[in-house]
Amino acid sequence: MPEIVDLTAWTSLLLGLAALFASIGALREPGIWGTMLEEIEGSPALQFVCGMMELVIGAFVYMANPWLPADLLSCVIKGLGGLMMIEALTILGFCDIYTQFWLSNLSNMHRGWALSTMLFGAVLLTVGAARFN
């Protein structure tokens, strides 16, 4: 009998890896997230592409993970998918306001955001990998 794929474990593992390596890049090149946000703010095409990509990925994360109250990780991952969709819609509708909010936060706390993203990614990676027994 074929084994069922644990989409929650894979989602956690992949989101954790993405967050971990994005934070490593941000720590290696301080200011790169700010530059990225400035480029997105200045280009309507990038705003649309980024918003749509996050909407598609967030919808996949949300729909691929069941809401099982006994499984905390699946609930957290499903919640992240929902938050990603909300952020995507915010980017599509209010990119100018949203990017200014993040640019003001990143300029003062760049290293703190990168380290907290690294910690979050490491937790997701570890918890996701632990489910592959």
For residue 5, being part of any structural domain is answered with no
Report pTM.
0.88
Contact 37, 47 (CB under 8 A): no
For residue 13, being part of any structural domain is answered with no
Contact 53, 85 (CB under 8 A): no
pLDDT tens per residue across span 65-115: 999 999 999 999 999 999 999 999 999 999 989 988 888 877 777 888 899
For residue 60, being part of any structural domain is answered with yes
pLDDT tens per residue across span 6-37: 999 999 999 999 999 999 999 999 888 888 88
Domain count, the chain: 1
For residue 7, being part of any structural domain is answered with no
For residue 23, being part of any structural domain is answered with no
Tokens of 88: 């995507």
Domain encompassing residue 96 = 32-130
For residue 73, being part of any structural domain is answered with yes
Q: At what angle do helices 32-42 and 72-130 cross, to 10 degrees?
A: 130
How many other C-beta atoms are found inside a 10 Å radius of the C-beta of residue 110? 17
